[in-house]
Structure 1
Amino acid sequence: MPDRYANNHCTIGDTVVKLALLLSVFLVAVFAQSERGKQQNVCVEQATCGACVAAGSRCGWCTQDKYDKRHADRCDLIENLLPNGCDHSHIIYPNSTMSYDSNLNPQNAQDGQEAVQISPQEVTINLRPNTPYKMQVHYKQAENYPVDLYFVMDLSKSMEDDKNKLAELGDALSEKMSEITKNFRLGFGSFVDKKTMPYVSIIPAALKEPCTGCVAPYGFKNQLPLTDDTPQFRVKVIDADISGNLDSPEGGFDALMQAIVCKPNIGWRQASRKMLLFSTDAGFHIAGDGKLGGIVKPNDGVCHMDGNGFYSESLSQDYPSISQLSHKIAEKKVNIIFAVTKERLPLYRKLSELFEGSVVGELANDSSNIVELVRANYQKISGTVELKTEGDEDVEISFRTKCFGDQWREKASCSGLGIGQNVTYEVTIEVTSCPKDRTKWKKSFEIYPVGLEEKLTVNLNLMCECDCEKPGQEERNSPKCNNSGTFECGACTCNDNRYGKNCECDGSDLGSQAYDATCKMTNTSEVCEGKGQCVCGVCDCYPVLALEDPSKKYSGTYCQCDDYACDYSDGQLCGGPSRGKCSCGECICRTGFMGSACECPTSSESCIASNGAMCNGKGTCVCGKCICDLNDYYRGPTCEDCPTCPGRCEEDKPCVLCRAFQSGDLSEEYCDANCTHIEIVDSVEEKDGWKLCRSQDEDDCIFYFIYEYRGSRVQVQRTKECPEPVNIWLIILWVILGIILIGLACLLMWKIFVTIHDRREFAKFEKERQNAKWDMGENPIYKQATSTFKNPTYSKVPSQ
């Protein structure tokens, strides 16, 4: 009796668990349906072939003449067009393509050939909007790549020792750079400041000689254009005279702008690594500072250099702005190395963050480290490859690369690149919409490595129009459109006041009662049951708003049916297309299924037990599953599993032991003859049609195996779970250690208690000693030298 009660109690618990599981499955199905509704079908919203193609790669346009769907539904998901009756040959869904216009392989600069470091050099992509296109770009650092190094040096009085040291190091610099490249040129220019107050003194004598041994101040002078005659560099630097100015900031921005934009005067080569070393120990004037000297005309960013190499507009134009310089540096592909003294490093580091491809290095007090500074920063600049884009308005571009590893990273730069090493970039290009201006359907942009003139030109041809929409392909006032519209791409574009699939409807009839009568189910009904509009006497149904998907609409002559309001099974409407179809709110089940959601198979084969009985005679087959009797002990898919009864787990245990673990009571001969159905596997788990058994051997080891409900197969997990042996010595050691620790803890507690008690007693003693009162006017142990005694028998005789 107690066992039967316990079994019933467990059965009720199992039922509750199943109900909770069914409820969770239902909630998951509702959530999944909600998520599917959020993924709107944007294709059906497109009215033309071009708009359909531009909506995304999953959209296709059906050009078939006798297509059963309405005009607006000619654009749909490709997987929907075929089932709706559109032949595959009439579906337009172009793919993006790319062709190479120039694709030279990377090569070194040798035998008179220019170096090629980026490939390809020019491509043309026929790009479908809203469809990302991926291409690869390769960069390989070439040997002997041309290097143009131009020094722009502050030649104010404080830089005099630096000038002398630079002249001495010219040959060493040339020698060091020749180790990197054989194609090296060197140039030199200097600057002071604008030749007016408050930048320099305008006293005639000071203008002529602002300091002892100084020449007259100037804005910028090109002392030596770029040349491969590097010994001449030393001569020009020595010959360059020092000058002076008044304020601390210098006119370095004027010098930078002229050195960058005066390409012919400086001698910059088209295909070279352009490096400009800017050396100073002071700050800089920026745009707006020129007003202090009465110079209000903004800098125009154009070269103004006279025949003697001087900046001719120094007193006419203001200093350049930081944004002007940043734009020119990026445009001219010049790499700036700021070589400044220690106290100016923070200022120029902030400035470097605004200039593409620039770095900052600390300059020694006498510029003695200039050679190492150039070499180190050149390797830093040339070893870092960063791709950028120019002219990519309205185009979304992203980069990723592996650099030198195996994992793709979302970045456009790689560092530590050496000569001959190759880096591959994956470039993703996407355009999200077609411009209204047709001239912008063709555009170009450039991908370039920072600091180099080399580039990849990408020519985009946007697919914003189908071939059948191009001029000459349409048929105006076509008979297919009732002579009231243009037939193109299999559909009609109606003229004014005409509408309908074939422009058969007159717009002047809209709103008339007689016109709407054909769209009403009864005289008192709403037009199209309020779920559509009357178009040319026929209901055009609205989408089911609850699904948020325009392609899923009401159906029926009067839009009275909702084909998406049926029950769900396994998270799918009517169990999915293989089980049934929703028709006007009810599931129409396919052969072999039944139920409100087509959730039940009509066959009861899955309920037949291994003995041939339906649910082993211990239950009822409902919806293809056995509902086992609550008053019985048997459970499982076919009510063959009895947890409280000796069953196949105990029956198969001896064979499992002898076959898998060579243990148990069975002999080897019996095992080989009768236990061949045992299969040894790496791991087992309970699954449909199988029962999991857990058993224990004589060594208290747990082993697992499963058996097939409808067969004799048994699978055994080859490993057992055995308890770890008890380490007696470790236990004894821990007990001894515990006793010692407890003893020490007790001793410590006793010591703390005694210490506290002694401190309290001492404090009490101190308090009583301080409270003792002594008579300070009498010494209690002092005795006088004389003693006085009184005779008690003596008394004075009273007078008579």
Structure 2
Amino acid sequence: GSPWCCDPTRSSSSPRGLAAEPRGSATRRRGEPPGCGRRAERGAPPAPPPPPPPPPLPPPPPPPPRTKGGGRRARAAPAGRTMPRRGGLPAPAAARRPPPRSFLLLLLLLVLAALLQPGRGLNMCTSGSASSCEECLLIHPKCAWCSKEEFGSTRSVPSRCDLLSSSVVKDVPLSSKGSGQTHLDVTQITPQKVALSLRPGDQTSFRVQVRQVEDYPVDLYYLMDLSLSMNDDLDNIRNLGTKLAEEMRKLTSNFRLGFGSFVDKNISPFSYTAPRYQNNPCIGYKLFPSCVPSFGFRHLLSLTDKVDRFNEEVQKQKVSRNRDAPEGGFDAILQAAVCKEKIGWRKEASHLLVFTTDDVPHIALDGKLGGLVQPHDGQCHLNEANEYSASSQLDYPSLALLGEKLAENNIHLIFAVTKSHYVLYKNFTALIPGTTVEILHKDSKNIIELIVKAYNSIRSKVELTVWDSPEDIALSFTATCQDGLSYPGLRKCGDLKIGDTVSFEVSVEARSCPAEDTSHVFTIKPAGFRDTLEVAVTYNCLCGCTGRAEPASGKCSGNGTYACGLCECDAGYLGARCECEEGAGGETHQGLCREVEGKPLCSGRGECSCNQCVCYESEFGNIYGPFCECDDFSCARYKGVLCSGHGECHCGECKCHAGYIGDNCNCSTETGGCVSSDGQMCSGRGTCVCGRCQCTEPGAFGETCEKCPTCPGVCSTKRDCIECKLFNSGRLDNQTCQKHCKDEIITTVDVLKTDDPNAILCAYPVNNCVMKFTYSELASGKSNLTVLKEPACSSAPSAVTIVLAVIGSVVLIGTILLGLWKLLVTIHDRREFDRFQSERSRARYEMASNPLYRKPISTHNVEFTFNKLNKSYNGTVD
């Protein structure tokens, strides 16, 4: 016979052991490890010593009620005692010797049983109250049911419910290059198929790798708004095909180009429908008196590598005129996406749909203005002339339908719109995965640069999407991007180069068993990629032994149905073999109804029948146990809820569900709610306790400690949000900006007030100017950012001012230098004069005559006589 005692049909997704032992085991004593027996027959090799037991597992759910009178009652027998009505048959006194060929298997199974023994910890499988295989499987993913007939003993019956892989089905390696290979050879995601087998509460994980291969083929469909306001744009793209092909062939050697146009529905009030406008809706319009009739969508050129044909088709086109401002572009996008054969999309190529317009689009329900009440069916409606034939019958498509069809056909949508409508279309990108938006000049002169930029942006990021995910499955992602860091909760990587490989850890958990199907298939695919990963999940919620039930079995004394090793007694019969009639009393049938001698029968909460306690019913819940000593309503409560609603009450103790701990199961072990938008746990400013962040950084608050006005670096974080939301620039892309900056309220002002004590002033340089803003937190938890409308820049001086400033500077500098020179000279002269005076005052002179000196006056004595006035004079003359 088989050495397994547990139901062989049971399987699990995780590589854990099976709590089973070989046939031929004897009874076990209370406290010994559970299984199908305690030891092998004499002579069998001894089992190796058991290693330490695993930590306690989550608790089981409460037992189902049993009603008196047959069938299930208000209790279910736990491990260690026989159960009323249903129970395992007693094992023989001596175990049979296992076959010699199973010797090694016996040792392995005994080791596994020892590994899973609950001797030093709680075994939630055996301590549970499962009375059937199905109830056992629902306790915990690690539990298994032993359906062997010879199980336990009459006095002490071990629990039949006891402790017991993701499988990659297809795994083609990643490709390194796209063109030059058939589409069957190009692989950008691995693995391609995974099969999982899960139980409720069970979780498994697998790794997905994605690569943007080099030189991958590209199909580009150019969808243009041909309303009257786009006339100048049409003139500028008449030779677009040649120039665009030259640029795109620098990125891929396999490029094809197609063309289509749209205006709007040709019904009122969207277009001019009066008879005089049928052939020329521009009649009476002085600026442009002639144009073609309005139309919804026209497919003009299927995807081709002959770019000259693109130029020819564009040169043939003429603009039209609609009545209201919005255009019917969403009709055109949907038809271009779903009419694969008409457009010519290749399976083995990247699909780019360039949508150019200068106005807002009509969306779902706008068609009611024209009497169109039928929603769009998402189907192709191109007639033989390649025109949209359902334009006047179906409403405009919704954003959800648009995103669904674009994703189904692996199409990257590029919105090329004018600056005035950039914000609106940017909001659309947050609702349609794989979509980008770029600013188109009014004359479309930058269209080539725009397309190349958008293509490089698309190829620089990978984002996983999930299709057909069942409600019973919980998915979580952890991205490992090019920097080698792990980002829990993120399914997207950016800033990639062609050929880079990124990986994602995908965790899959079964929340519950589905009502009908036992299997489900969902798909994981990168947005815009052809490659997909198919995940097949099988739910293990049923026991195979249930289908082998034996009605009126002799093993049940002919009074019950034998299934999964237990007897389901008919009405009026009790006992492990249904050997007793209900109501049978007497001392001979009451010996096993007392827990301890002297205590009341069945703890005073039941009646003793056939040595088994039949517990009373209670308005508060179930009373159960071998002696009716347990109930499911005498446990700790949290906020008035028993076991916080996250566990089951078992004998006065809360047995928490998977993912919860604590005396009253109010503490969650889930950390997903603690992961901030940037992928960090509690924004790096706290710790996750019971599923909530406890902020440790001073000044930090918020659900994930994301708010911290006083933390260093907060200005840099808020700067990113201002740049992406207000100025459409910066390092954050559209979807990252929408996610990280969803709680930012940004207002612009002409003059920034800095007198608010609760606001923090931040500034950063922008093109030689300074952008200033204030940051504060609101009571609602949102951030208030007040930003200057324009960066603070100094005005440029005039030429005259510059010349005068230069001349004045030269004169001033010359005057200063001259003054300094004069000052130095004066100081020097004064010093010399003072020294001269000092030396002069110290000089001493003696009076002396110069021998060579002759006085200028000489005196000579001459005697003469003369008469003067007849008088004689005798004297000297000098």
Same fold (TM over 0.5): yes
CA contact (8 A) 1:348 1:360 kept: yes
Cα–Cα, structure 1 residues 182 and 486, in superposed 2: closer, same or farther, change >3 Å? farther
Q: Could you tell me how far 1:181 is from its partner in structure 2?
A: 1.6
Is the deviation greater in 514-523 or in 195-204? 514-523
SS at match of 2:237: helix
- 1:47, 1:71 within 8 Å by CA — same for their partners in 2? no
Q: How does 1:471-486 map to 2 (within 5 A)?
A: 471=547, 473-486=548-561
Counterpart secondary structure, 2:431: coil
Residue equivalent to 1:374:
451
Which amino acid letter does the alignment assign opposite residue 45 of structure 1?
S
State the 1:333 CA deviation: 2.4
Residue 61 of structure 1 is matched in structure 2 by 145
> What is the letter of the counterpart of residue 126 of structure 1?
S
2:240 corresponds to which letter in structure 1?
A: L
**The 10-residue stretch of structure 1 (268-277 or 247-256) with the greater mean CA deviation from structure 2:** 268-277
Residue from 407, 412, 417 that aligns with 2:496: 417
TM superposition shift of 1:554: 7.4
Match of 1:74 among 145, 148, 159: 159
1:40/1:549 contact within 8 Å kept? no
User: How far apart, CA to CA, are the structure 2 residues paired with 1:311 and 1:261?
Assistant: 12
Equivalent residues in 2 for 1:212-227 (5 A)? 212-227=289-304
Q: Deviations over 1:99-135 (max 9, x none)?
A: 4145344353344422210111122223333221111
Q: Does 1:196 align with 2:267?
A: yes
Of residues 506, 525, 528, the one that matches 1:427 is 506
Partner of 1:538: 612
Confirm or deny: 8 A CA contact 2:147 2:160 kept in the other structure: no
Quote the residue 1:180 is aligned against: 251
The offset of 1:456, in angstroms, is 0.8
Per the alignment, do residues 117 and 533 of structure 1 end up closer, same or farther by CA in structure 2, a change over 3 Å counting?
farther
Counterpart of 2:566, as a letter, is: A
Do the aligned partners of residues 423 and 534 (structure 1) sit closer, same or farther apart at CA in structure 2, a change above 3 Å counting? Answer: farther
Does the 8 A contact of 1:531 with 1:554 survive in 2? no
Deviation at 1:338, TM superposition (A): 0.7
Residue 488 of structure 1: how far off its partner (Å): 3.5
Aligned-pair identity (%): 37
2:238 is the counterpart of 1:167: yes
TM-fit CA distance, 1:512: 11
> Is the contact between residue 141 and residue 419 of structure 1 (CA under 8 Å) also seen in structure 2?
yes
Residues 108 and 51 (structure 1), Cα distance of their counterparts in 2 relative to 1, 3 Å cut: farther
Q: Counterparts of 2:261 and 2:398 in 1: how far apart (Å)?
A: 20
How far the C-alpha of 1:197 sits from its partner, in A, is 2.1
Moved more, 161-170 or 309-318: 161-170
Who is 2:482 aligned against?
404
What corresponds to 1:12 in structure 2? none
Q: CA RMSD in A?
A: 3.7
| Residue 207 (structure 2) pairs with residue 122 (structure 1) | no
State which of 448, 456, 459 in structure 1 corresponds to 2:533: 456
CA contact (8 A) 2:557 2:577 kept: yes
For the residue of structure 2 that corresponds to 1:265, the secondary structure is helix
The one-letter code matched in structure 2 to 1:478 is S
Other-structure match for 1:296: 373
Write the deviation string for residues 494-516 of structure 1: whole angstroms up to 9, x where unpaired.
Answer: 34444433333434x38999988
1:70·1:501 contact (CA, 8 Å) conserved in 2? no
Q: Which moved more, 1:411-420 or 1:151-160?
A: 411-420
Give the 3 Å change call, closer, same or farther, for CA 517–492 of structure 1 in structure 2. Answer: closer
Structure 1 residue 155 and structure 2 residue 226: aligned? yes
5 Å-filtered alignment, 1:348-367, equals: 348-367=425-444
Secondary structure (helix, strand or coil) at the match of 1:167 reads: coil
8 Å CA contact retained: 1:104, 1:121:
no
- TM-score (norm: length of structure 2): 0.52
Q: Distance in 2 between matches of 1:368 and 1:505?
A: 94
Q: How does 1:551-570 map to 2 (within 5 A)?
A: none
Paired residue for 1:325?
402
Q: Matched residue of 2:537: which SS?
A: strand
Give yes or no for contact 1:139–1:423 (8 Å, CA) kept in 2. yes
Match of 1:41 among 93, 100, 124: 124
- 1:231 is the counterpart of 2:322: no
- Tell me if structure 2 keeps the 8 A contact 1:148–1:273: yes
- Asked if the contact 1:541–1:559 (Cα under 8 Å) also holds between the matched residues in 2, the reply is no
Is structure 2 residue 212 aligned with structure 1 residue 108?
A: no
Structure 1 pair 105–325 and aligned structure 2 pair: CA distance change class (3 A): closer
- Give me the whole-angstrom Cα distance separating, in 2, the residues matched to 1:244 and 1:71: 90
1:291 shift after superposition: 2.7
* Residue 187 of structure 1: how far off its partner (Å): 0.9
- Give the residue type in structure 2 aligned to 1:407: L
| Stretch moving more, 529-538 or 248-257 | 529-538
* Mapped partners of 1:145, 1:169: distance in 2: 22
**CA pair 407-532 structure 1, distance change in 2 beyond 3 A:** farther
CA deviations over 1:204-242 (Å, ceiling 9, x no partner) = 332212223311111110011111212211111111111
SS in 1 for 2:278: helix
What whole-Å deviation, never above 9, does each CA across 1:473-520 have from its counterpart, x for those lacking one? 44443332222333343333334444433333434x389999889847
Which stretch shows the higher mean deviation, 130-139 or 478-487? 478-487
> Do the aligned residues in 1 keep the contact of 2:482 with 2:500 (CA within 8 Å)?
no
Show the counterpart of 2:667: none
Which amino acid in structure 2 is aligned with residue 53 of structure 1?
L
- Structure 1 residues 535 and 320 mapped into 2: Cα distance closer, same or farther (>3 Å)? farther
Q: Distance in 2 between matches of 1:312 and 1:187?
A: 20
Map 1:767-778 onto structure 2 (within 5 A).
none
Look up the match of 1:501: 576
Following the alignment from structure 2 to structure 1, what is the Cα–Cα distance between the partners of residues 204 and 628?
A: 45
Deviation of 1:159 after TM superposition, in Å, equals 0.5
Identify the structure with the greater helix proportion. Answer: 1
Take 1:353 and 1:479, find their aligned partners in 2: how far apart are those partners? 67
The counterpart of 2:565, out of the listed 490, 497, 502, is: 490
Structure 1: distance between partners of 2:156 and 2:294 = 79
Distance in 1, matches of 2:586 and 2:223, equals 84
Match for 1:528 among 590, 598, 602?
602
Q: d(CA) in 1 for partners of 2:187 and 2:561? A: 53
Equivalent position amino acid for 1:67 in 2 = G
Cα distance in structure 2, aligned partners of 1:69 and 1:404: 63
The one-character-per-residue Cα deviations of 1:418-477 (angstroms, maximum 9, x if unpaired) are 22211121111111222242xx112211111111221111122222234444x4x44443
Query: The residue matched to 2:487 in structure 1 has which SS?
Result: coil
1:266 aligns with 2:351: no
- Which residue in 2 is equivalent to 1:391? 468
User: In 2, Cα distance between the equivalents of 1:419 and 1:123?
Assistant: 27
Provide Cα deviations, 1:654-703, integer angstroms capped at 9, x if missing partner: xxxxxxxxxxxxxxxxxxxxxxxxxxxxxxxxxxxxxxxxxxxxxxxxxx
Check conservation: 1:106, 1:119, Cα contact below 8 A. no
Correspondence 1:644-723 to 2 at 5 A: none
Secondary structure at the residue paired with 2:389?
coil
Counterpart AA for 1:530:
G
Matched to 1:367, the amino acid is S
Secondary structure of 1:137's counterpart equals strand
Please give the alpha-carbon distance, in whole angstroms, between the structure 1 residues aligned to 2:254 and 2:248. Answer: 9
Gaps of 5+ in 1: 1-31, 79-92, 543-547, 561-800
Q: Which residue of 1 aligns with 2:709?
A: none
Cα deviation, residue 530, structure 1: 2.5
Structure 2 residue runs without a partner (length 5+): 1-54, 62-121, 283-288, 631-878
Partner of 1:600: none
Displacement of 1:148? 1.5
Change in CA separation of 1:308 and 1:62 when aligned onto 2, cut-off 3 Å: same
Does 1:442 pair with 2:511? no
Q: Which amino acid aligns with 1:418?
A: K
